[in-house]
Amino acid sequence: MSDSTPIEKGLACPKIDTYSIVSNLKGCEGVFEASALEVEGKIHAFITPDTVDIQRIERHLESSLDQSLVLPASYHRLPQMPYTNKGAIDEEELVLWLKRSVTENTSTEHLLRPAQIHVREIGSSASSISSVPLSPESPAWKDQYLESQLPEKRLSKPLRNLRYICMIIYRRIFAVIFIANMVPYIYLLLKGTDCPTLATACSINMLISIVIRQENVVNALFYMALLVPRSWPLWIRKNTSKVYHLGGLHSGCGVSATFWFAFLVAEASLDAVKNSTIRPGEKIISTATLAVSYAIMVLLTVMLSFAYPSIRRKMHDQFEQVHRFAGWTVLILFWTLTILLVSDYSGPSIPFAKVLIHTPAFWCLVIITVSIASPWAQLRKVKVTPEKLSNHALRLHFSHRNNPVPGSFVRLSDNPLMEWHSFATIAVPERNGFSVVVSKAGDWTGKYIASPPTEMWIRGVPTRGVMNVAHCFNRVVIVGTGSGIGPCLPVLLSAARNNIQVRVLWSTPKPRETFGDEVVDGVLSADPNAVIWDTRVDGKPDIVKLVWGLVQESQAEAVVIISNPALTKKVVYGMESRGVAAYGAIWDS
């Protein structure tokens, strides 16, 4: 059987399913892109690149597809797929080529002309389409991308701003959680209720808000998202990869808990002047219970105020300290409140312990306490081997743990009670331990770059972050700016082992001088044609145009970016509004 001619097969089975064929073709090792068309009762498969092993692909389909399905009558290897101006595979072009090759009796040596990126000028008519050749070997290819016009964004401006900015998954989860709480909230406000019921509602929301941030829970959620096979349809993987937006549960339940507690304080204030029916001569709510309730309400209000995005950005260190110390105080006070409420609402004839263990808030507090305490139970001071890369960057090597999952981060501190900083773990295959890259971004990082540490405090376990979602895709464009290459590097180093095809865009000043040869060579080992843009030499590029060019060139399924908030939001919006899945940090924790 020759690779250069179509492989003819008999069509013995009646069921035609090109969708299943394409999904299985995309799951074959070495296949970049695939399409399957039914033409005159036969299925024809088209595969890129033109170096794939047709016999191996044929055997893969025969063993993996249901026996009731029709197999392709022919397989055609192409250097690149043709695309429409909307970024979809141009099936009409494939059919025309197929008919032309049959008429001219040609083999697959007569391949489609090299595919092109079709781009439409913004605000222009449909006729003003230009083409940019896909030739990364050409020294001017980056300039061609930058000079080209991006295609029009999907949807009208109000709709796309609503969809891709105002109502991202995080905010949609927040809205669902908050509305789900407000329905029973309004019902009980109108119907009437008691403080134990309100304490239960508040404690359930607090439980969800805290547990969803617990490191082991976060890792489990990412793990489940990555269980989705890469052969499954892209729309499923695009949505499961939004797992890092589940912080919407944290904020939604946190805000809802505060609202429920405000209701509890109001109810307790009313009950504090009403006579108890089970304890003659006393009020329903004791003075101690009321005082603790008001103290918790003050602390929750302060925490919520500091968590407001604009205040949090300006006062991040204070936000963390308030969240930590006020949160611990609220936990202690809530335990006190629960015990006081059980005492206030239980009669002398019922044992206190029996009432307590039948109180939902009690068990919620048990789980909350364990969740908060568990990372601190793993607090330890570890040895660090520093490697000064430059006056702007430092690499710290750790040996206490081997090879964290690519796309995870650790928290480091020199003062555990006051300040913590998160850094991406860089695990080098077949090498013990891991490292982190510290880039100068403020007083704390500047201090350690100037005087490298030999010991650091570390808390909890390495936790998966947004870069981990790159493993959900077969082909991905990874974008980093400055020290953002740190979180990208472990995914890049493990890409070949995990059968992920990557293209890299790294924009940074003086890459080798700042980050060293090992980091730069690591990037190039994953993508020999990586775009490493020296901003000191070429200035700042139009990242969105470069990313779009790389997406079209590599036929990537997704983009993952690690950068500053402004650029991350710009690239994610620029890609998603044009139909490309894009992922970046949302700074919600």
pLDDT one-digit tens code per residue, 88-112: 677 888 888 787 766 655 444 333 3
**Does any domain span residue 570?**
yes
Number of separate domains in the chain: 4
Domain boundary pick from 306, 339, 374: 374
The whole-number average pLDDT for the span 120-136 is: 29
Examine the domain organization and report whether 428 and 363 are in the same domain. no
Q: Which of 364, 347, 346, 167 shows the shortest CA–CA distance to 260?
A: 364
- Comparing 568 with 445, which gets the higher pLDDT? 568
Examine the domain organization and report whether 573 and 434 are in the same domain. no
pLDDT at 77 over 90: no
CA distances 168 to 163, 231, 253, 480, 562, Å, are 6, 26, 17, 22, 18
* Pair 478, 488: CB distance under 8 Å: yes
* Pair 112, 79: CB distance under 8 Å: yes
Examine the domain organization and report whether 64 and 188 are in the same domain. no
Q: What is the pLDDT of residue 203?
A: 94
Q: Edge-to-edge, what's the strand order for the sheet holding 380-383?
A: 380-383, 455-464, 408-415, 419-424
Examine the domain organization and report whether 52 and 83 are in the same domain. yes
**Does any domain span residue 423?**
yes
d(C-alpha 428, C-alpha 436), whole Å: 11
* Rama region for 470: left / alpha / beta (φ>0; ψ in -120 to 50; rest): alpha
Q: What is the pLDDT of residue 132?
A: 35
* Pair 365, 227: CB distance under 8 Å: no
**Does any domain span residue 232?**
yes
Examine the domain organization and report whether 450 and 493 are in the same domain. no
**Does any domain span residue 355?**
yes
CATH number, domain containing residue 504: 3.40.50.80
Examine the domain organization and report whether 577 and 535 are in the same domain. yes
> What is the DSSP track for 196-258?
HHHHHHHHHHHHHHHHTTSHHHHHHHHHHHHTS-TTS-HHHHHHHGGGGGGHHHHHHHHHHHH
**Does any domain span residue 156?**
no
The whole-number average pLDDT for the span 571-581 is: 91
d(C-alpha 243, C-alpha 247), whole Å: 9
pLDDT at 342 over 50: yes
For 445, which DSSP code? H
Domain boundary pick from 50, 80, 114: 114
Paired with 388 in beta bridges are: 394
CATH number, domain containing residue 420: 2.40.30.10
Average pLDDT of the chain is 81
Examine the domain organization and report whether 352 and 460 are in the same domain. no
Q: Which of 339, 184, 336, 338 shows the shortest CA–CA distance to 260?
A: 184
Q: What is the pLDDT of residue 67?
A: 72
d(C-alpha 553, C-alpha 48), whole Å: 12
Examine the domain organization and report whether 187 and 313 are in the same domain. yes
Examine the domain organization and report whether 367 and 430 are in the same domain. no
d(C-alpha 33, C-alpha 58), whole Å: 16
Q: What is the pLDDT of residue 510?
A: 87
pLDDT at 198 over 90: yes
Examine the domain organization and report whether 509 and 555 are in the same domain. yes
**Does any domain span residue 135?**
no
CATH number, domain containing residue 67: 3.30.300.30
* Pair 573, 165: CB distance under 8 Å: yes
Q: What is the pLDDT of residue 86?
A: 53
**Does any domain span residue 358?**
yes
Domain containing residue 103:
18-114
For 7, which DSSP code? -
**Which residue is it, tokens 């799951």?**
27
- pLDDT tens for 434-461 read 888 888 767 788 888 888 888 889 988 8
- pLDDT tens for 518-541 read 888 888 888 888 888 888 888 888
Q: What is the pLDDT of residue 449?
A: 84
**Does any domain span residue 139?**
no
Examine the domain organization and report whether 172 and 253 are in the same domain. yes
Examine the domain organization and report whether 109 and 39 are in the same domain. yes
Q: Output the pTM of the full model.
A: 0.71
- Comparing 210 with 425, which gets the higher pLDDT? 210
Domain boundary pick from 464, 492, 507: 464
Q: Which residues contact 235 (CB under 8 A, 6 or more apart)?
A: none
Q: What is the pLDDT of residue 469?
A: 92
- pLDDT tens for 222-262 read 999 999 998 888 899 999 999 989 889 999 999 999 999 99
Query: Percent of the chain at pLDDT above 90?
Result: 29
Among 40-54, 143-157, 378-392, which is the least confidently predicted range?
Answer: 143-157
